[in-house]
Structure 1
């Protein structure tokens, strides 16, 4: 049976860098496993080509992109406060292993799989809370003195993990629990080939990984940790439901005998409420007035089509005006404040896309909540009379 030793680290801690070097020196492992995947290792050590602006706009998942950028920004800011580059302890482990002529294994799950499962598993409310918490973090991380070495204290780490689990159960499962299992799988496979294995992992994974190492029979199948998350296309389902509900509402008003003026007013308010809120959120994102005008012009239609989004059109116009380049990626990562990051054209384009969609969604909700009070009519009467008249018409045709 292999002798396996775990080292828990904080990703922006000088103490963790020193702990890793000491552990390799003292334990003298046959192999060192690091909590990195090959893609992240390349990103830490080499210049990697960034995806094109067109690829980002075509991808469409602007919320997930923003979350990824903001998380990177927060980690960069903490690293700047402590003077330690994120991932330094993993690079130190690799350098020390190479100095001792020991092989290195990348034992973490591909970051693209982790982010995909993290975002895909979270419900809508969890995503809203996460974005709100990140916005708060953007402000609170500025100028705050942070004792990063506390992040390796297991009592502190356990409390933080428990809070995150309450905050986002599904997100915690993908980001923590699944990776605990994946890391344990990789470490055990190394243990089948080497007698002394040193694994360098984040402090938040120590307890979970150790539990699996103590009871390997409890590990979920490896394939289940890397498969694409299968879930119902809720965005399309909700979009189709909104379209059907709106059409039924308009039909009910048309057949209720309320008159053409009420029907026209209902249609005008649909255009105005969707348009104004989508345009307002575009401007809130720092979008150009032409981008806001685009959001206003299309949101009434995109709200009725689950395959379209107002943010896409607003982002295309914003990109034409701001002209983002591939170099914007480096500027986003290097930004020292959120205001500075927000001035980067590419970040502005993605932010416009995300917030224009938020405004359009809120506009749709506001319409169904307020349209009957605005029109001054009783919804029960309109719906019952309208559908009764429609039913009579259909029966008359047959």
Structure 2
């Protein structure tokens, strides 16, 4: 087994760039292993092909895309404030290895797999907390970077405290984003160490301790296949959709059997359409969407809210894409945007944001409907539910009794 040295870096630190270059020059490793996958490597080298817009729309992972872009923006913004391009230390490692004709190894997991497992592993509550934290992080990132000491953040006690806080804040998300990648990169480093005398690993400071522990105790590593398999998403969306449909159906039946009249039934149906449609329309406009996209959401939302496998945002996004005509090159523009407002002017970002916020509007509509429908109709819920279900039960028992 060869010697493996690990450099824990900050992705926006000039000191990390210098440290990587110095280590390669002085130690002269046989291979330089970097915390990148093939996609991010090509993006860093500006050799990545633009994705097809149709593929992005068909994947329907709009929320995951937003999370990825916002995280990248926060990192880039901090880098702009401290005068260092995000990933500069990785680029320095690549350039130094190529100049010295040292082998280069990409040891990180495919970002698409990581994001899928990250999103699928988190509970609904963790996702809400994550969005709240992201909004706060954007506000911090948009402030001056003079208060940010990157080298202080790299200190071991600070890194450990941050990792512990992350695991407390979102245990499943932290495992997918940090713990699993520690294990994945450790598998690759052990393989590289068995074939080379000196391996220099360049990874983020947050991964260093986890990787070192796995290298010291390889028997504790989880099977490699378990780190790359597709994780089944928790079917909360499906369950929620089925429950909503069932409650709405029972509510209509209760109104029918309560004897309050068809006018109340029609009003309940009309308000279902209006509440969902209006909120979806408003949230589409808040995302910067075209009014036509909002109208599509208005029409689809009352129906999609009753179907657990479709979402209003998908249809609004398709309409928005037809109008804005995003291109694959928009990805690069999003990655280079210097503010959230600039990102909002890019067609592809607007399409994805429309999809996400239209879904939020539709979901809020469902909760608002069940909370406010009885006051809106001006009727006593005890009459509807009590008499309605009692009469319904009598009708059922009478039917089967015959």
What is the TM-score when the length of structure 1 is the normalising length? 0.95
Using the TM superposition, give the Cα deviation of residue 357 of structure 1 relative to its aligned residue in structure 2, in angstroms. 0.6
Q: Is the 8 A contact 2:39 2:48 kept in 1?
A: no
Give the Å deviation of 1:126: 1.6
**1:370 equivalent in alignment to 2:378:** no
Give the deviation of 1:341 after TM superposition.
0.8
Q: Deviations over 1:123-156 (max 9, x none)?
A: 2222222222222222321242132223321122
C-alpha contact 1:151 1:203 (8 A) present in aligned 2: no
Q: Counterpart of 2:116? A: 116
Structure 2 CA distance, aligned partners of 1:369 and 1:270? 12
Structure 2 equivalent of residue 61 of structure 1:
61
1:303 aligns with 2:305: yes
Aligned counterpart in structure 1 of residue 258 of structure 2, from 256, 259, 274: 256
Q: CA deviation at 1:318?
A: 1.9
Structure 2 residue runs of 5 or longer lacking an equivalent are: none
Question: Match of 1:202?
Answer: 204
Alpha-carbon separation, structure 2, partners of 1:33 and 1:278: 47
Supply the distance in 1 between the matched residues of 2:137 and 2:161 (Cα, whole angstroms): 18
Match of 1:233 among 227, 232, 235: 235
| 1:82 corresponds to 2:77 | no
SS of the counterpart of 1:46?
coil
Equivalences for residues 109-188 of structure 1 within 5 A: 109-145=109-145, 146-188=148-190
Q: Distance in 2 between matches of 1:24 and 1:177?
A: 27
- Paired residues in the alignment total 398
* Deviations, residues 25-57 of structure 1 (Å, cap 9, x unaligned): 232322221111222111111332222222222
**What is the Cα deviation at residue 380 of structure 1?**
4.1
SS in 2 for 1:199: strand
Shift of 1:188: 1.3
CA distance in 1, matches of 2:206, 2:5: 16
Contact 2:326–2:348 at 8 Å: present in 1 too?
yes
Per-residue CA deviations over 1:274-311 (Å, capped at 9, x if unaligned) read 11211111111112222222222221111111222111
Q: Which runs of 4+ in 1 moved over 4 A?
A: none
> Which residue in the other structure is 1:102 paired with?
102
Q: Distance in 2 between matches of 1:229 and 1:368?
A: 33
Deviation (angstroms), 1:225: 0.9
**Which sits farther off after the overlay, 94-103 or 82-91?**
94-103
CA 140–246 in structure 1, closer or farther in 2 if over 3 Å, else same: same
CA distance in 2: counterparts of 1:71 and 1:86, whole angstroms: 12
Alpha-carbon distance in 1 for matches of 2:66, 2:233? 22
Counterparts in 2 of 1:9 and 1:277: CA distance versus 1, 3 Å: same
Q: Select the residue among 220, 223, 238 that pairs with 1:221.
A: 223
